[in-house]
Each structure stands twice: as C-alpha cells, then as structure tokens.
Chain A
Amino acid sequence: MDDLALEAGERAMSARDVAVLGAAMHPWGKWGRGFVEYGVKAARDALADAGVDWRDVGSIVGADTVRGGYPGYVSGATFAKALGWQGARVTSVYAACASGAQAVQTARTQILAGLADVVLVVGADAAPKGFFRPAGGDRPDDPDWLRFRVLGATNPAYFGLYARRRMAVHGDTLADFAQVKVKNAAMGALNPYARYRKTVTTEEVAASAVVADPLRLLDICATSDGAAALVLSSVDFARRHGAPDPVRIRAVSTVTPEYPQTVLDLPDIATDSAAVAAPPARPFRAAIAHAAYEEAGIGPDELSLAEVYDLSTALELQWYEDLALCGEGEAAKLLRDGATALGGRVPVNASGGLASFGEAVPAQAIAQVCELTWQLRGTAGARQVPGARVGITANQGLFGHGSSVIAVR
C-alpha cells in the first residue's frame, strides 16, 4: 500500500474507532417507577437495534445513580441481573452528570484493549421532584453539603451567576436566553423520546417565574426519569456482524480541570487562586472540547451538529464558545443568526436538549450519543440534520468531570 492510500485509509477509519451497533432510550418523563425498569427497556431496545443477543455481550457498564439506594451504586450489576445473569464482565461508574461519558469511555477502552468485542452501556435515573439536594447527614467535609448548608446555593443559583456574568461581560440579553429555549423546544417537539414536546414562545419564557435572577423557570432544565443505552463493539466485530459502515466513536474526552481552576464551578464556594500559579491556557469547558478535537483529529469547522448540556439557556450559549463554534462573546450572535437551529450551519441540540428532556443524570451523556448515532445514520426523522457526518457531545460533571464524545460516519 502506498503512503497516500494509507493516509486516506487512516482518515476514513482510525485504529481507535469503536462502532455504535445499537442505540436506544426509554422516553424521558416522570413515570413513577424505578430506574432499573427504565434501564432494562433501553438496554433491550439497544440490543435489538444492534441485532445482538444479550448472552453474547462480553461486558456491561452501568452509569450509576445516587438516587436508587445500593442498586444505583452498583448499576452495572443491577442491570446485568435484571437482564439475566450471563457471566459478563461488569463495571459501574459514577461521575455525576458525566457518568454516561465515563461509561462509554470504559466500554471503549475495554474494546480497544481487546478485553471485549461487544459492550453494553446503560444509564438510568428516577429523579426526585424539585431541586437536587445533597446526600443526608451532617457532613461539613463535603463541598456539596456545605454549599447548601452555608449558602443555600442550589444548582439554578450557579446557573443564575453564569447568566448574569454573560449579560455583563458579553451583552447577552434575556431575549437571547429565551431564544435558546424556543429553538430547543421546537426541535424537542419533533423527538418522541423528549419529555416536553410542545413548542415554546419567547413570551412564555418571559412569563414564567424567576427562579434565580435573571433566569426563569423555562430557562432552567427540569429533572426527569429516563434511560439510554448503547451497544458498542470493535469495528471488526461490526463488519463480521453485517454492519460495514457503522457510526463510529472517534474520541471520548474525560479530562479533569487544570490548576488553578478559575471558573466558579458547582458545587464550589470559591475558585482556586490564580495569584501564584498562572491560569491554564483554556478554561475547563474549553479544555474538555479541545481534548476531544485533538483526539479525533477533527476541528470545530467540520462538525455537522453538536449536543451540549443546556442545564440553562445561558449555559448553552457558553458551550458555543467553549466548543469553538464561534469566538468568545459571539455566542448570542451565532444564535441570532440561526446558525445553531435546525437548518443552520451547525445545529445545536437537535434532540431538543435538556430543555426538552430534563436531566436524568446518568442517562444524559449516553442519550447525547444516541442522538448523534441517529443523526449520523440519517434516521432522526423530522429533526434530521441533512447529510450529518460528524457530531460532538459536550457535558461537565460536578467535581471536575469533563465529558465530550465525537462520533463520525
């Protein structure tokens, strides 16, 4: 093989690709049942989508939930038992909102290391009503307990701080934030797995109650029940299995911040001091995406779409800049130009995003990859991004967990 052919071959198929054989979700909502039931449904549907018998799966990775008692802390085994013990290697991972990405990463590294041909990844949650709260007990050594005890700082309080900061520094407006919700609701209305499937107007956003100044109820994502699952395999296995051109995961970024962490981050009460050590070249969220781009050898200008963690409308705008879809401070302009809506240059949250789903913590990062899979297969129906070839997901878990996946076809 000559060098040119080799290069072309490498571009088309990286040796570090893993195939997405199957993808599925349990619809998001408030269903009043346990997380295991949701997870099993998503897992079975993903296996069916892959055409793989559960008994042929060599490894299962569960993304844990902290809201299901002990079974939630050992979710890999919980799902394996519910699907029927068959002797698979088991792993359970937790990284807050980034748990799903860690589960994907675990499956991927097992496949690339040759430890398993086919791995099932599952994340599911049954969310409580209202604000997320810390685990019980008197725990002054836990920053998550402290921020509630000392400040009453809920998650929306942090979202409010980021939003107000953007307004002051970049000139974002409440109308910009509302437009993010309008955009995502329009796309979520087209997604059968979304919890909220009604379009929303800017007037409706403006009429909703303020939760944490300047953000209103419709600026902030809800918490939901839901589950998502993926069947991942080696590219060789996919070929033998009759999938010659599967969606492939080319990069998974699970980086931590660099000291000093100078962006106030949940659940911290203060940033690190930058008086002695210089701040890193890239703030944490930008570093998460940068690591994914570097690993994939793909740049932001090559993206067909992005799924980002819109915990709040303002935070979605922040991700535009952190993903380098535009320069710093230019996110609102990108939005206003329609670039991130369906039909735009790089649709963001074609799934409807958290705005339409509400957060089901351990399932969410997996659900983002499900959306990329459907989009890259061209099976996303009315919300299809035409000709989608490259997609990125981005997310961040409490306590310093990066999460970004790049998938290609």
Chain B
Amino acid sequence: MTRQRTPVVADWFSGEGENFRLLGTRCSACGSVFFPREDSYCRNPGCAGGELAEVPLSKRGRVWSYTDGRYRPPAPYASDPEQEWEPYTLVAVELEAERMVVLGQAVPGVTPGQLAVGTEVEVVPGVLNEDADTTWTTWHWKPVNGR
C-alpha cells in the first residue's frame, strides 16, 4: 500500500532534497518577512500594508536553543499510545538574514547532547507521522557537520 505524502500544513515548505525550503511571505511595501506565513495582512505597525508574496527562508541557521520531549505530548500530536514513547529533540534556530527564530524538530536520532547554542543546522524534509492513508511530511533541523 502506498501512502499519500501530504504536508502537515499546506504551503509552509516545499521542494525536494537540496531544494527543500521553509516558505514564508514578504510584504511588498515594507519588506517584512513572516513565518508562519501571513497571506492577508502585514503585521508591521509602521507599514501601510502591501501585497504579501511567498518567499523561501534561509536554508541554514544557528541553534538559538534546544530541548527535548521526554513525555508523550497530548493530541493533536500524533503518536501511538501502544508504542513506548521515543523522546525527540526540539530546536529553535536563528536565521541570520531574516533575523528571526524558527522552531522545529531535529532529525530523528539527534539528542540535546549533540547540540550547542550556535551549532549550524540546515532545514531538511522529514516525516512527522504516518497513518493508514497518509505520510504527513514536515521540516526537520539537521546539524550541518553532524549526522
């Protein structure tokens, strides 16, 4: 059986392999970038408002901070309660050009002990969970010089 690959949220990321990117939007009037994307209004209070166009975010950034989840999060996080809980790592990444911090899960297998504030990471495609019909895809942060 082939599951349909579907992004967990539409239009937050796109591309395959090397071309994978998070997608934000940029205001045509003031240049402000938004992630998660704003498609209806610019949130800069000093901006009269412009068109919001899709823009890929920087592929690489540096770890702002990190943590992990030792206990199963509640729904709507998808996990099989029959299976033993496998902790995963969460990373907050500072993107230099955008001057913003974006959260994400680390690629599976990366533990907090392998990270430090300032570690260079890049965004890669990942799988959040699978159900009967669907492979839900997401973004992951991956250390550049690591695994």
Q: Which residues of A contact B (CB under 8 A)?
A: 130-131, 133-134, 138, 140, 143, 145-154, 157, 160-165, 168-169, 209-215, 259-260, 262, 264, 268-277
17 additional A-B residue pairs with CB within 8 Å, beyond A130-B74, A273-B34: A133-B75, A148-B73, A149-B8, A151-B77, A151-B105, A152-B77, A153-B73, A153-B103, A160-B68, A161-B90, A164-B65, A164-B66, A214-B112, A262-B100, A269-B35, A269-B36, A275-B33
Interface size grouping (class) on chain B: 35 or more
B6 at the interface (CB under 8 A from A): no
B76 at the interface (CB under 8 A from A): yes
5 closest A-B pairs (Cβ-Cβ)? A160-B67, A168-B117, A152-B73, A133-B74, A152-B77
Which B residues are CB-close (under 8 A) to A269?
35-36, 102-103
- Distance in Å from the Cβ of B38 to the closest Cβ of chain A? 10
Contact between chains at A212 and B34 (CB < 8 Å): no
* A266 vs B92: C-alpha distance when bound (angstroms): 13
- Distance in Å from the Cβ of A110 to the closest Cβ of chain B? 29
Which B residues are CB-close (under 8 A) to A134?
76
Contact between chains at B101 and A264 (CB < 8 Å): yes
Contact between chains at A152 and B44 (CB < 8 Å): no
Name, among B101, B116, B138, the residue most crowded by chain A CB atoms within 10 Å (CB to CB). B101
Which B residues are CB-close (under 8 A) to A260?
32, 44, 100
Which B residues are CB-close (under 8 A) to A277?
30, 32, 44, 46
Q: Give the nearest-CB partner of B43 in chain A.
A: A259
Contact between chains at A212 and B44 (CB < 8 Å): no
Which B residues are CB-close (under 8 A) to A138?
76
Which B residues are CB-close (under 8 A) to A276?
30-33, 44
Contact between chains at A169 and B90 (CB < 8 Å): no
Which A residues are CB-close (under 8 A) to B64?
161, 165, 264
